[in-house]
Amino acid sequence: MNVPDELRYSPEHEWVRLTGTVARVGITDFAQDSLGDVVFVQLPDVGLDAVAGASVSEIESTKSVSDVYVPVSGVVSAVNDALTEQPELVNQDPYGAGWMFEMEVGEAGEVDGLLDAAAYRALTEG
């Protein structure tokens, strides 16, 4: 299982890459593997003001439909439109081309409250 050290993780299996005040969010390798083949991604609306822990989108796979939660509070500033035509990118490259949305983070320190790679590995392997 791939767990990049430079990212932060939520217990609900989302990852966050913070660049300045912009957080890029997607689901983890563990999550995409658990879901199976992703066939549809419902992306949040740009401009959505979301509180950490809120469900903002859904991923449909051959096995189930799962909510995607916002790991930090902020305003959705961009979405990965490529997923509309190619939802399989979530399976193929969850930390790269399969990212889901970006948020302008209200409080950058909130990211520090998420799991680091070692803690996320412990969660998924335990």
Domain layout of the chain by residue ranges: 8-125
Q: How far is CA 59 from CA 35, 40, 41, 42, 119, in A?
A: 9, 6, 5, 6, 25
How confident is the model at residue 4, as a pLDDT?
Answer: 97
What's the mean pLDDT in 97-125?
94
How confident is the model at residue 80, as a pLDDT?
Answer: 98
How confident is the model at residue 22, as a pLDDT?
Answer: 95
CATH number for region 8-125: 2.40.50.100
pLDDT digits (tens, 9 = 90+) for 25-84: 999 999 999 999 999 999 999 999 999 999 999 999 999 999 999 999 999 999 999 999
